[in-house]
C-alpha cells in the first residue's frame, strides 16, 4: 500500500525554518556572548567576565546612558499609555458605534503612520515643529511617538474587540446598564488582554524608535537608540554590546509577557 | 391610538402595526399582536421570518421603522434598552464570562440601584428557583450548557421584569435536556406570573408550552391562536403546512357558509368540511391531515389512490400515494394495526372527521 | 445572513452616534502631528534653501529641478536629465525589491511550516519568530555589523576552518545592505503569511489531491491563490520600510550603497544640508509608497467583488 501523502508537508520547509531562525538569532546570540568577553579587544575571546556590565553602570559613559535610558523609558511609558487610550476610544468607535460619516477615512487615518515611510515622518515632524516655533526636545519626541504608536496599539485592541461578541454589552444594557456601565463593567474587563497587548506593543515600538527621535530630539537630548547610534558611529565597543544584551533581555521579557497575556485571554473565553 | 394616560390594560405588550426595515430589506411588514399579562406567548416561524427582529424591537436593540410598541399601555419607543422593564434570555445566553454566577444574577439589580445585600439575597432566591443555589460562586465557563441556560434565565428573572423575552433559549441544548427543561420553564413561568415572549422554530416546543402562538413567515403574522386552534384550525396554506404535516389539494368550492364549505374533491366525490375565515367559493385549497385518513378497499371512501412507496417511521408508516387525478398524497398508518398495503395496490381513502379543512387562500 | 447572527461578532451599534466623538483624539493627534507636518513638508519642497540649513520663504521649483535636471556645474547649460538621484531611487527600489523576494523565499516556507504544526508547537515556533520582531532594530543591525566585520566572528570562524585565507570584506557592500534589509524585515513577511495559512482549509488540498493534482501542483494552483492576500500583505510590509530604510544602509553600507533614507537624512544634518531638496526627495518617496499602497488597495477591492 502506498504511504499516505501528508498534504501539509513539503520537503525542505523545516530546514528553511531553521535557517530562518538561525539568521534571525545568530547575530543577537553572538553579541550576547561577546558582551561577557573579558578581553578589551572585541574580537578575541578572553574569558568570561561581567566587567562590561559593570562599565555600563559605573564607567565613564554611565551617566550618558543612564539619562538616555530614563528618557527612553519615560517616553515609552507615557507614549504607550496615551496611544492605548486613544486607540481604545477609536476601536470602540470603529467596532461598536454603527455606521457614520467618515468611518472609512478614519480607519485609513489611524493606519496612516504605518504607511508613511519613517524617514518621511521624521523629516515632516522636524519641519513642522520648526515652522510652528516649537522647541525640539523631550516633548516633541513624546508627541511624535504617540502618533506612530497609535496604529500599533489599535491593531490588537481592535482585533480583540471584534472577537468579543456584542451580545455581552447588549445583555448588560438589557439588565439596566447605561452604555457607559456596559463599557466599564463588561466590555472593558473582556478587553483586558487586547489592551495589554496593545500597550506592550506600543511601548516596545516607542523604545525601538531611532529615526524619528533622531530628527526631533533637539540638541543634547538623547534616548537609548540615539545614544547607542552615536556611540556605534565611533566603532562597536564592548559596553555597547552589554547594553544591547540588556535591551535584548527587556524585549524578551516583554514578548514573553504579551505571549502569556495572549494565552490567558484565549483560555478564559 | 390607545390612550397613554390610562396605563392599566390587561395587555403586557401591545405591538401595533410594526414595520422594520434594514435598508432595502423589510424584516417586519406591519406586525400586530397583543400579549396578555402572565401569558406564555410564542413566536413560531421558519428561519429568517423576523422573530429575532421583533424581539430586539421590544427589547430596544432596534428602532422600529413604523408602528408602536406599548408596555402596559405606555409607548416605549423613546426608551433606550436600559430603561425598559423587559429582560432577555439570549440565544447564546451571553453570560458575562468574567463574573461569577451570583454576580451575573445580581448585575441587573445593582444597576437598578439595589443595595449589595438586597441584590445578593434576591440573586440567591432566584438561583434557588432554578435549582442552581450551590453553583453561585462558579464562573459560567465552569457550567454545563443546561446550567448556563438556567443562569441566563435566573439573571433575566431577578429584576422581576414586566415581560421576559426568550430567543430560542433551548436551541443550544441536546434533545433530552431540551425536553426536560421545557416543563421546568413552563412551571417557572406559572410561578412568577411574568409574561413570556418565547421565540422558537420548533413547532413541538411551541405546541407543548404556549398559551398562545403567533405563526410568522417572511415578516408577516400568519395566524395567532392557542396551540389547538393553530393545529386543528389553520387559517391558510402556510400555517397548515408549517404546523404538523398535511396534504394540500386543489379543490372546487361550491358553497361557503357559517364556517363550513361544500367541496368537490378530485375524483368527483362531494365533501362538507369546516372552512377558514376568508375562504371563498371557486378554486380553493383543502388541507388533509395524513394521520386522519383511513384506508379502505378500492372503490370505497371519498378518494381513490395507488400506493407508490412506503417509509417506515417507527410508530407509523408513511404511505406515498397518487390520486387518479395525478396528485400526490401522504397517509400515515399506525404500525401494528394491520398489514401495510403493497406498492401498486389500489385503495380507497376515508376522510375522517377533523381531517379536512378548507383554507383561506 | 446579515446582522443578528447569534453569537457571532455582529456589527453593533451600542455606542451609536458617539463614533465621531470617540475618534476625535485619534483625528487630532494624527491630523496635527502627521498630516499637517506632511503638508508643511510639501510646502518646504517648494521653498528656497538657506545655506546653514533651514529655508527662505520664497517659492521656487529649484529642489525638484535639482532632483530631475542637470544644468551643468554653473547652471547655465541646457538641461538634461540628472541621473544621480534617480539612480539612487532606482537602486533603492531594486534593493528593497530584492529584499522582498528574499524574504518571501525564506518567509513563505517558514510561515507554512509553523502554521501546519499542532497547536502547542505552533505557538512555540511563533514565539521564536516574534522575539526578533520585538528586539530593537538598531541593536539587531549593530549585531549584524559586528558579526560580519572584517575581523568579526564570522570571518574568524571561516579563517579558522580554513575555508578562506583572507577575511571577506563584507561590510560596506551591497551584499551587507541586502543582508541587513532581509534580516530587519523578515518577521514582517512571516507573520501575515502565517495568519493566512492558518486560516487555510486543508480539505481544499485534499480535494485537489483527489482530482489528481501533485503536491506541487496543489501548492501552485490552489494554496497560493488562496493565501495570496497574506503574501501580498507581507511583501508590502517588507518593501515599504526597506525602501525608506536608514539604519541598514547607513551602518552596513558605504558611499557606494547610498539609499533614499541616507540621501534624505544627509540633507538635514550639518552645513551641507539642503532642506527643500530633502523635502522634495521625501515627497517623491512618499508618492512612490502611496502609489504602491493604492495599487494594492485597488486590487484588493477588485478581488472582493
Ligand atoms: N442587521 C440587519 N441588517 C439587514 N438585514 C437584517 C438584519 N437583521 C436581520 N435582517 C434580516 O431580517 C430578516 C429577519 O431576520 P431575523 O433575525 O429576525 O430572523 P429569525 O426569524 O430570528 O430567524 P432565525 O430563526 O434564523 O433566528 C432576515 O431576512 C434577515 O436577513
Ligand atoms: Mg433569530
Domain range annotation of chain A: 56-267
* Residues whose Cβ atom is located within 5 A of ion ligand 2: B 52
pLDDT over 60 (residue A101) = yes
Pairing of strands B212-217, B220-225: antiparallel
| Average pLDDT of span A9-20 | 87
pLDDT over 70 (residue B9) = no
Q: Which atom of ligand 1 is nearest to the CA of B51?
A: 21
- The answer to whether residue C97 is domain-embedded is yes
Q: Is B49 in the pocket of ligand 1 (CB under 6 A)?
A: yes
Confidence at residue B6, expressed as pLDDT on a 0 to 100 scale = 41
Chains with ≥3 CB–CB distances under 8 Å to C: A, B
What is the overall mean pLDDT for chain B? 87
| Cα–Cα distance for residue pair B138/B131, rounded to 1 Å | 14
In a mutational test of the C interface, the residue from B54, B58, B61 whose CB has the highest number of chain C CBs within 10 Å is: B61
Confidence at residue A134, expressed as pLDDT on a 0 to 100 scale = 86
- The answer to whether residue C50 is domain-embedded is no
CATH 1.10.3720.10 fits A56-267, yes or no: yes
Q: State phi, psi for C82 to the nearest 5 degrees.
A: -90, 120
- The answer to whether residue C173 is domain-embedded is yes
Domains delineated in chain B: 11-232 (3.40.50.300), 245-359 (2.40.50.140)
B82/A contact by beta carbon, under 8 A:
yes
Return the C-alpha torsion angle A173, A174, A175, A179, nearest 10. Answer: 10
Copy the grid coordinates of residue A142. 513624546
Q: Is B22 in the pocket of ligand 1 (CB under 6 A)?
A: yes
Confidence at residue B5, expressed as pLDDT on a 0 to 100 scale = 42
pLDDT over 70 (residue A269) = no
Between C300 and A102, residue with greater pLDDT: A102
| Average pLDDT of span B285-312 | 85
Confidence at residue A267, expressed as pLDDT on a 0 to 100 scale = 53
Buried b (16+ CB within 10 A) or exposed e, B69-88: bbbbbbebeeeebbebbbbb
Residue of B35, B18, B1 lying closest to B196 (CA atoms): B35
Q: pLDDT digit string (tens) for A186-213?
A: 999 999 888 998 999 899 999 989 999 9
Copy the grid coordinates of residue C199. 486560516
**Confidence band (pLDDT; 50, 70, 90) for B335?**
confident
Confidence at residue C207, expressed as pLDDT on a 0 to 100 scale = 80
| Cα–Cα distance for residue pair C231/C240, rounded to 1 Å | 14
Return the C-alpha torsion angle A120, A121, A123, A128, nearest 10. Answer: 140
What is the overall mean pLDDT for chain A? 87
Q: pTM score > 0.90 for this model?
A: no
Confidence at residue C239, expressed as pLDDT on a 0 to 100 scale = 92
* Ligand in closest contact with the CA of C1: 1
B220 C-alpha to ligand 1 centroid (Å): 13
| Average pLDDT of span B77-91 | 88
pLDDT over 70 (residue B184) = yes
The answer to whether the CB of A55 falls within 8 A of the CB of A239 is: yes
- The answer to whether residue C276 is domain-embedded is yes
Q: pLDDT digit string (tens) for B21-35?
A: 988 899 999 999 999
Burial class of residue C225, CB neighbours in 10 A (0-12, 13-18, 19+): exposed
Report how many domains make up chain C.
1
Return the C-alpha torsion angle B129, B134, B135, B136, nearest 10. Answer: 80
pLDDT over 90 (residue A128) = yes
CA C113 centroid distance within chain: 24
| Cα–Cα distance for residue pair B113/B333, rounded to 1 Å | 61
B218 C-alpha to ligand 1 centroid (Å): 10
CATH number, domain of C123, equals 1.10.3720.10
How many residues does the structure list for chain A?
Answer: 269
Buried b (16+ CB within 10 A) or exposed e, A5-30: eebbebeebeebbeebbebbbbbbeb
Q: Is B35 in the pocket of ligand 1 (CB under 6 A)?
A: no
| Cα–Cα distance for residue pair C89/C92, rounded to 1 Å | 5
| Average pLDDT of span A67-75 | 94
| Cα–Cα distance for residue pair B326/B324, rounded to 1 Å | 5
Q: State phi, psi for B250 to the nearest 5 degrees.
A: -75, 125
- The answer to whether residue C208 is domain-embedded is yes
How many residues does the structure list for chain C?
Answer: 305
CA angle (B72 as vertex; B69, B78 as ends), nearest 5: 45
Interface predicted TM-score of the whole assembly (ipTM), two decimals: 0.87
Does C243 sit within 8 Å of A123, measured CB to CB? Answer: no
- The answer to whether residue C23 is domain-embedded is no
Residues 92-121 of C with CB under 8 A from A: 106-107, 109-110, 112-114, 116
Report, in this order, helix, strand and coil percent for chain B, each rounded to 5: 25, 35, 35
B28 C-alpha to ligand 1 centroid (Å): 9
| DSSP helix/strand/coil, B250 | strand
Copy the grid coordinates of residue C96. 528593497
**Atom 28, ligand 1: which residue's CA is nearest?**
B48
- The answer to whether residue C52 is domain-embedded is no
| Cα–Cα distance for residue pair B32/B67, rounded to 1 Å | 9
Confidence at residue B135, expressed as pLDDT on a 0 to 100 scale = 92
Digits of tens for pLDDT over chain C (305 positions)? Answer: 333 333 333 335 678 778 888 999 999 999 999 999 999 999 989 988 887 777 788 888 888 888 888 777 777 777 777 778 888 899 899 999 999 999 999 999 999 999 888 888 888 898 888 888 888 899 999 999 988 888 788 888 888 888 888 888 888 888 899 999 999 999 889 988 998 888 887 777 778 777 777 777 887 888 888 888 889 989 998 999 999 899 998 888 876 778 888 889 888 886 678 889 999 999 999 999 999 889 988 887 776 65
In a mutational test of the B interface, the residue from C5, C6, C10, C13 whose CB has the highest number of chain B CBs within 10 Å is: C6
| Average pLDDT of span B255-264 | 84
- The range of the structural domain enclosing residue C266 comes to 89-304
Closest residue to B111, CB basis, from A167, A175, A190? A175
Amino acid at each position: 500500500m502506498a504511504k499516505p501523502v501528508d498534504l501539509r508537508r513539503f520537503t525542505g520547509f523545516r530546514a528553511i525554518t531553521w535557517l530562518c531562525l538561525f539568521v534571525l538569532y545568530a547575530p543577537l546570540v553572538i553579541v550576547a556572548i561577546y558582551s561577557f568577553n573579558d578581553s578589551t579587544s572585541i574580537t578575541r575571546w578572553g574569558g568570561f567576565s561581567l566587567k562590561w556590565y559593570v562599565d555600563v553602570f559605573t564607567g565613564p559613559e554611565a551617566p550618558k546612558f543612564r539619562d538616555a535610558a530614563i528618557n527612553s523609558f519615560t517616553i515609552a511609558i507615557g507614549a504607550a499609555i496615551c496611544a492605548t487610550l486613544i486607540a481604545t476610544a477609536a476601536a470602540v468607535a470603529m467596532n461598536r458605534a454603527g455606521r457614520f460619516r467618515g468611518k472609512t477615512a478614519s480607519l485609513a487615518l489611524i493606519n496612516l503612520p504605518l504607511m508613511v515611510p519613517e524617514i518621511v515622518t521624521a523629516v515632516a515632524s522636524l519641519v513642522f515643529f520648526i515652522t510652528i516655533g516649537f522647541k525640539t526636545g523631550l516633548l516633541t519626541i513624546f508627541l511624535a511617538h504617540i502618533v506612530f504608536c497609535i496604529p500599533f496599539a489599535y491593531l490588537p485592541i481592535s482585533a480583540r474587540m471584534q472577537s468579543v461578541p456584542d451580545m455581552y454589552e447588549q445583555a448588560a444594557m438589557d439588565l439596566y446598564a447605561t452604555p457607559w456601565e456596559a463599557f466599564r463593567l463588561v466590555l472593558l474587563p473582556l478587553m483586558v488582554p487586547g489592551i495589554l497587548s496593545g500597550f506592550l506593543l506600543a511601548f516596545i515600538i516607542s523604545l525601538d524608535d531611532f529615526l524619528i527621535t533622531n530628527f526631533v530630539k533637539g540638541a543634547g537630548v538623547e534616548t537609548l537608540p540615539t545614544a547607542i547610534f552615536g556611540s556605534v558611529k565611533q566603532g562597536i565597543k564592548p559596553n555597547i554590546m552589554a547594553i544591547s544584551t540588556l535591551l535584548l533581555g527587556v524585549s524578551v521579557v516583554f514578548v514573553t509577557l504579551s505571549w502569556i497575556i495572549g494565552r490567558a485571554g484565549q483560555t478564559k473565553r | 391610538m390607545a390612550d397613554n394616560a390610562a396605563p392599566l390594560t390587561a395587555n403586557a405588550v401591545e405591538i401595533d402595526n410594526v414595520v422594520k426595515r434594514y435598508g432595502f430589506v423589510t424584516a417586519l411588514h406591519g406586525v400586530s399582536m397583543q400579549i396578555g399579562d402572565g401569558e406564555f406567548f410564542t413566536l413560531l416561524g421558519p428561519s429568517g421570518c423576523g422573530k429575532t427582529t421583533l424581539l430586539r424591537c421590544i427589547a430596544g436593540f432596534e428602532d422600529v421603522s413604523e408602528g408602536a410598541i406599548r408596555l402596559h399601555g405606555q409607548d416605549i419607543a423613546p426608551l433606550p434598552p436600559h430603561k425598559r422593564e423587559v429582560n432577555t434570555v439570549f440565544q447564546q445566553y451571553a453570560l458575562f464570562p468574567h463574573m461569577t454566577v451570583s454576580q451575573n444574577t445580581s448585575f441587573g439589580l445593582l444597576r437598578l440601584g439595589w443595595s449589595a445585600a438586597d441584590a445578593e439575597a434576591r440573586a440567591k432566591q432566584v438561583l434557588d428557583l432554578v435549582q442552581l443555589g450551590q453553583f453561585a460562586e462558579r464562573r459560567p465557563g465552569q457550567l454545563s450548557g443546561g446550567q448556563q441556560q438556567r443562569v441566563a434565565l435566573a439573571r433575566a428573572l431577578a429584576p422581576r421584569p414586566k415581560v421576559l423575552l426568550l430567543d430560542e433559549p433551548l436551541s443550544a441544548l441536546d434533545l433530552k435536556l431540551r425536553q426536560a427543561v421545557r416543563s421546568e420553564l413552563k412551571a417557572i413561568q406559572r410561578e412568577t406570573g411574568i409574561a413570556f415572549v418565547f421565540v422558537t422554530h420548533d413547532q413541538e416546543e411551541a405546541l407543548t408550552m404556549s398559551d398562545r402562538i403567533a405563526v410568522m413567515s417572511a415578516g408577516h403574522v400568519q395566524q395567532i391562536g392557542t396551540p389547538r386552534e393553530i393545529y386543528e384550525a389553520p387559517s391558510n396554506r402556510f400555517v397548515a403546512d408549517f404546523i404538523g404535516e398535511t396534504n394540500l389539494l386543489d379543490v372546487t368550492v361550491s358553497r361557503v357558509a357559517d364556517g363550513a364549505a361544500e367541496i368537490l374533491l378530485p375524483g368527483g366525490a362531494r365533501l362538507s368540511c369546516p372552512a377558514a375565515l376568508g375562504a371563498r367559493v371557486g378554486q380553493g385549497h383543502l388541507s388533509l391531515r395524513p394521520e386522519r385518513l383511513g384506508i379502505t378497499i378500492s372503490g370505497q371512501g371519498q378518494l381513490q389512490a395507488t400506493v407508490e412507496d412506503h417509509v417506515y417511521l417507527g410508530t407509523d408508516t408513511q404511505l406515498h400515494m397518487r390520486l387518479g387525478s395525478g396528485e400526490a398524497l401522504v397517509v400515515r398508518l399506525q404500525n401494528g394495526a394491520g398489514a401495510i398495503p403493497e406498492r401498486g395496490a389500489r385503495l380507497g381513502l376515508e376522510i375522517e372527521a377533523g381531517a379536512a379543512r378548507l383554507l383561506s387562500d | 445572513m446579515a446582522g443578528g447572527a447569534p453569537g457571532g461578532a455582529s456589527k453593533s451599534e451600542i455606542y451609536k452616534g458617539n463614533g465621531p466623538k470617540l475618534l476625535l483624539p485619534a483625528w487630532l493627534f494624527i491630523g496635527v502631528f502627521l498630516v499637517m507636518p506632511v503638508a508643511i513638508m510639501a510646502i518646504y519642497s517648494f521653498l528656497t534653501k538657506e545655506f546653514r540649513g533651514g529655508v527662505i520663504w520664497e517659492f521656487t521649483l529649484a529642489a525638484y529641478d535639482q532632483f530631475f535636471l542637470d544644468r551643468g556645474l554653473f547652471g547655465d547649460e541646457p538641461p538634461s536629465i540628472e541621473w544621480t538621484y534617480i539612480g539612487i531611487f532606482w537602486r533603492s527600489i531594486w534593493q528593497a525589491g530584492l529584499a522582498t523576494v528574499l524574504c518571501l523565499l525564506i518567509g513563505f516556507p517558514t510561515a507554512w511550516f509553523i502554521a501546519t504544526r499542532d497547536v502547542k508547537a505552533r505557538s512555540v515556533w511563533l514565539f521564536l519568530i516574534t522575539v526578533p520582531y520585538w528586539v530593537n532594530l538598531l541593536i539587531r543591525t549593530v549585531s549584524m555589523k559586528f558579526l560580519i566585520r572584517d575581523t568579526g566572528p564570522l570571518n574568524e570562524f571561516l579563517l579558522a576552518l580554513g575555508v578562506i585565507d583572507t577575511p571577506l570584506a563584507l561590510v560596506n557592500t551591497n551584499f551587507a545592505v541586502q543582508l541587513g534589509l532581509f534580516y530587519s524585515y523578515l518577521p514582517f513577511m512571516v507573520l501575515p503569511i502565517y495568519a493566512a495559512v492558518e486560516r487555510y482549509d486543508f480539505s481544499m488540498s485534499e480535494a485537489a489531491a483527489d482530482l489528481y493534482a501533485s503536491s506541487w501542483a496543489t501548492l501552485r494552483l490552489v494554496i497560493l491563490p488562496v493565501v495570496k492576500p497574506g503574501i501580498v500583505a507581507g511583501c508590502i510590509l517588507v518593501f515599504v520600510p526597506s525602501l525608506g530604510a536608514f539604519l541598514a544602509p547607513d551602518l552596513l553600507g558605504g558611499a557606494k550603497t547610498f539609499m533614499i533614507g541616507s540621501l534624505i537624512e544627509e540633507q538635514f544634518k550639518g552645513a551641507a544640508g539642503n532642506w527643500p531638496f530633502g523635502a522634495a526627495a521625501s515627497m517623491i518617496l512618499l508618492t512612490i509608497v502611496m502609489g504602491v499602497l493604492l495599487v494594492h488597495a485597488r486590487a484588493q477591492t477588485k478581488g472582493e467583488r
